[in-house]
Amino acid sequence: MPDSNLRAFIKQPVPPVRAGDVKRVWSLYASEQARDTRVQAGAAFAVCQKLLVDLCDENANVLAVWCRATVVGALLREGRLERWRQGNGLRDEVFELAATFPIPRGLEGFDLDAFVAALR
C-alpha cells in the first residue's frame, strides 16, 4: 500500500465501511497468523493491495476497511475480544461495530476501551 495512501488516515477521520468487508480482511490476517509462526509472534507481514481490493465489495474504501480490520486484530491480540470469540472467528457484532465505530482522528490515539465498552 503506497505510503501516501496510509498518510491519508493519520489524524484524519476513517469513514464507515461494510461489516462484511472488515470481516473478510480480518479473516485473511487471522488465517495468516494461524499459518505462520512469525506472524503469531507479532511480526508484520505484507499483503498485496490487490488482494484486499478483491476481498472487498466493489467501490469499498479499502484503506478504511484495512484500518478497521487492524483495530479488531489489535484488540484480539490483547485478549480483549475473548468473550466474543466464536470458534476460530469472532461474532458478527464485532465486525458490525468495527465497520461503523467513530474513528475521528485516525488510528493514532484510537480509544480501544471505548470500542470494547460499546460491544458490551
Burial class (CB in 10 A: 0-12, 13-18, 19+), 100: middle
pLDDT tens per residue across span 54-71: 889 899 999 999 999 989
For the entire predicted model, the pTM comes to 0.82
pLDDT tens per residue across span 19-29: 999 999 999 88
